[in-house]
Amino acid sequence: MKKIYILLFAILSCVCNATAQRLHGNVTDVQTGEPLIGATVYIPSLSKGTVTDLDGRYTLSLSNGNYSVSYSFMGYETAVITANINGNTSLNVKLKSSSQKIDEVVITSQNKQEQLARPEMGVEKLQSKTIKSVPVLLGETDVIKVMQLMPGVQAASEGSTGFSVRGGNPDQNLVLLDGSTIYNAGHFMGFFSVFNNDAVNDVKLYKGDIPASYGGRLSSLLEVNMKDGDKQRYHLNGGVGLISSRLTVDGPIINQRTSFLASARRTYFDLFLPFATNESAKESTIYFYDLNARISHTVNDNNHIFASAYLGRDLFEYPIAGMAFGNKSVSLRWSHIFNQRNYLNLTAHAVNSDYDLSMDFDAASKASLSSVIKDLSIRADFSSKVGLTHTLTYGFQLTRHDFQPGTARGEGAQAIMGKIEMPKNKAIETSVFIGNTETVSPSLTLRYGVRLSTFHNYGPTILYKYDDEYNLSETVEKGSGVYNSNFGLEPRFALSYMVDEHSSVKASYTRTYQYMQQASVSTSGTPMDVWYMSSPNVKPQLSDQVSLGYFHNILDDRIELSFETFYKAMENTIDFKDHPHVMLNKYLEGELRFGNSRSYGAEFMAKADFGRWNGWVSYTLSRADRKIVGVNDGKRYLSPYNHTHDASVVASYRFTDRISVSGNWVFISGAPTTFPVARYEVGGEIVPYYSSRNRDRMPNYHRLDLSLTIQCKRNPERRWQGEWVFSFYNAYNHHNTWGIHFERENKDNEQTYVIKSKSVYLFPIIPSVSYNFKF
């Protein structure tokens, strides 16, 4: 096998420039020894650069000579080092954290010109420190909430961590934590994300131009990477907020070689329940928690391993009913450097996502329900530099999905409910991919690749077939073995052309397939929405997206302007028939209707960084609609995630090294909705009559959040460092409509014929305070 590998590279190497030399090494934090992921290595005289990989490594191909190389990373002081290249040269660089930048809103870590030249579009990167500075609901710092301030990204509904990217459904986002799929990324009915920011190193969202190494969802890829522990010193940091507390410990196990990080977060509003006046509240339990752990170990210069684990769960117990849901995931990675030009990441993942419901209203209705998703996965990512101008990435992924969409049973002898077991869904999903980034000329860079994905359902299971009217026509028992296969060839292409030093044009085309989706009938969904697979009845969803963008930096690159347009055409789009029956329904597939959908729009963003002042303004104009057979009389209608206008302004200002303020304002056009056009009376009820779907709009949404961060005076003798964060969510107390319902008026205990429309809003102005510390 190794021979084949060497042979392959021998062939590939034939195309390279033999005089090329390599500058390589790693970039780490000087204090902690942690690798810095995505740090920029840039040679201004050549307008050439790269970024460090997941292990902080970089390689640049150069010809012999003297170069001034700049190493930069957000939140760190830039190091400029003169490198004398005469043959392959190794240069390991340690960067120093620039502590006064801690609370700046800086959204890019890359050298700004390098960013212009990179053939990568629709990508939003955030560092944990940036995320921390944006004011959020109840002071709970949240990666996803900050992502929602980016152009083309919107919350599925107010306060929700479910998000829609370029008009797509929330289940069309692939959410990865250290590479493991997170199926349910929300706590507390989705109001808080499962990502504890203290354990998060960096986050990257691909809004369409997804690299060939990933796929499986139509809209986006959200990569969240956990922090590595410090390999030299121990740290303790944490925070006390209104609804939760956090504590993170990290440090060396073996100095310089092995480190650990352990982080925990738990909400504590349930601690106040015993003081409640309501009897039933006293006997209730309600909380969620997250545990993150990561161990990384440097075996030698060429071999690194890490293991990371996540466990998060929501628990709610009320004497007559209970609910629990959560995710567990484990990732193991071995990174191996074959030589300066070739390396491999081999990763294994195990994922478990489940929920349980129970009810105990009386002996007859006592029942429980559970649903679970289990994934096992292995993937290999190879990277090879070929010559001066090619960087190849290639590999494969193999995943086994095992879904139990629901098992319910009556509990106790008097229970009326029988045992209901939904047929299991099992599948093998595979992909092989290869991509190449090619520097054609100093101004033109191409990135192209292809991904072959396959999806195989296998038994034993029970398969239901439906006739043209979606009625059950046949029940087939499938034995073990594959009974249905789907294949998808997914080309990816991107180019970047530097018009001049400060501006570039980029274009991209992406095809993606999606083989699994969530049965959410509502816009924001609930943790009880099950995932279901492509099958003989459900074809895989398919998306083709093209985008074109212009990027321009002004004022010495202190303001970065970007303008991107996109058009996305999707096939085999799924929606539900009217009044769908989704929960515990064996015949769920008979409730689905299929068609096509599209979304298109323009995104504008201006990012500014003037030292004390920084922030961004973003605006998106877009439309998303669908045409589904059997829904809305087969006529085109707006997607529930269609928001014509979406604007956000995020700004922060640092008064002194210790005091900074930040604020953000968002405006989003009201979501499409369906209001009645007439009423009629039947069975004593006033029944609404509807015409076309989603032709009305909810009121527009806008909100201002503010926060003030004060760092406590630091005693140079002590390591303890604290800061207070005061914030206001919805600072001008705008009652943003969350839902609208119609209420029939009662007079003297008699129902009248008067109906009033009512708006429900969730959050008035909400002040919060939290205290964070580092040790």
Partner 1 sequence: MRYIAILISSLFIFSSCTEDIDLSLSSTSPFFVVDGHICDEVSPYNFVRLTMSSDYFLNTESPAVSGASVVINDGEKDIIFEEEEPGYYMAPAFFAGEHGKTYSLTISNVDADGDGISEIYTSKSIMPPTYEIDSVKCVYDDFLGIYKIGLFAREDTSFDNYYMFGYSYNDSLVCDSYLDYAITDDSYFGSDYCWGATISTLTEDFLRSGVINEGDTVTVHSISINEDLYKYIAAIDDIHSGSNPMFSSTPANAVGNISNGALGFFTAMAVVHTKCLVEK
Footprint on residues 152-191 left by partner 1 (CB under 8 A): 156-158, 160, 188-191
Tell which one of 285, 656, 691, 733 touches partner 1 (CB under 8 A).
691
CB 140 within 8 A of CB 244: yes
The smaller minimum CB distance to partner 1, of residues 92 and 691, is found at: 691
Q: Is 64 in the site for partner 1 (CB under 8 A)?
A: no
The whole-angstrom separation of Cα 277 and Cα 262 is 37
The smaller minimum CB distance to partner 1, of residues 587 and 720, is found at: 587
Q: Is 694 in the site for partner 1 (CB under 8 A)?
A: yes
Q: Is 737 in the site for partner 1 (CB under 8 A)?
A: yes
CB 582 within 8 A of CB 540: no
Please, which of residues 407-446 interact with partner 1 by CB under 8 A?
A: 408-410, 414-420
The smaller minimum CB distance to partner 1, of residues 208 and 640, is found at: 640
Using the contact rule CB under 8 A, the part of the chain among 72-80, 176-184, 402-410, 510-518 near partner 1 is: 402-410
The smaller minimum CB distance to partner 1, of residues 258 and 358, is found at: 358
- Minimum CB–partner distance for residue 222 and partner 1 (Å): 20
- Minimum CB–partner distance for residue 685 and partner 1 (Å): 5
Q: Is 372 in the site for partner 1 (CB under 8 A)?
A: no
The whole-angstrom separation of Cα 742 and Cα 748 is 19
Tell which one of 677, 719, 732, 775 touches partner 1 (CB under 8 A).
677
Tell which one of 676, 700, 708, 771 touches partner 1 (CB under 8 A).
676
The smaller minimum CB distance to partner 1, of residues 54 and 638, is found at: 638
The smaller minimum CB distance to partner 1, of residues 623 and 695, is found at: 695
What is the SS3 assignment for 128?
Answer: helix
The whole-angstrom separation of Cα 428 and Cα 140 is 37
- Minimum CB–partner distance for residue 141 and partner 1 (Å): 19
Please, which of residues 303-332 interact with partner 1 by CB under 8 A?
A: 316, 318-323
Please, which of residues 746-765 interact with partner 1 by CB under 8 A?
A: 749-751, 753-764
Tell which one of 236, 240, 307, 584 touches partner 1 (CB under 8 A).
584
Query: Which two tokens mark 151?
Result: 């152009």
Distances (CA, A) of 266 to 235, 313, 408, 458, 480: 20, 10, 29, 39, 42
Please, which of residues 227-286 interact with partner 1 by CB under 8 A?
A: 279-280
Q: Is 357 in the site for partner 1 (CB under 8 A)?
A: yes
- Minimum CB–partner distance for residue 139 and partner 1 (Å): 15
What is the SS3 assignment for 521?
Answer: coil
- Minimum CB–partner distance for residue 770 and partner 1 (Å): 18
- Minimum CB–partner distance for residue 182 and partner 1 (Å): 20
Which of 662, 677, 671 has its CA nearest to residue 707?
Answer: 662
Which of 51, 80, 50, 83 has its CA nearest to residue 64?
Answer: 83
The whole-angstrom separation of Cα 143 and Cα 224 is 9
Quickly list DSSP for 37-75. Answer: TT-EEEEGGGTEEEE--TTSEEEEEE-SEEEEEEEE-TT
Query: Which two tokens mark 172?
Result: 């069309």
Which of 106, 76, 81 has its CA nearest to residue 92?
Answer: 81
The smaller minimum CB distance to partner 1, of residues 204 and 734, is found at: 734
Distances (CA, A) of 272 to 188, 201, 284, 285, 287: 17, 33, 11, 10, 11
The smaller minimum CB distance to partner 1, of residues 341 and 366, is found at: 366
The smaller minimum CB distance to partner 1, of residues 188 and 515, is found at: 188
Tell which one of 87, 272, 441, 579 touches partner 1 (CB under 8 A).
579
Tell which one of 44, 536, 722, 739 touches partner 1 (CB under 8 A).
739
- How many whole angstroms from its chain centre is CA 727? 25
Q: Is 472 in the site for partner 1 (CB under 8 A)?
A: no
What is the SS3 assignment for 10?
Answer: helix
The smaller minimum CB distance to partner 1, of residues 473 and 757, is found at: 757
Amino acid at 143: V
**3-state secondary structure string, 607-622?**
EEEECCEEEEEEEEEE
The whole-angstrom separation of Cα 486 and Cα 489 is 10
Tell which one of 181, 524, 618, 652 touches partner 1 (CB under 8 A).
524
CB 35 within 8 A of CB 28: yes
Residue 177, burial from CB neighbour count under 10 angstroms (0-12, 13-18, 19+): buried
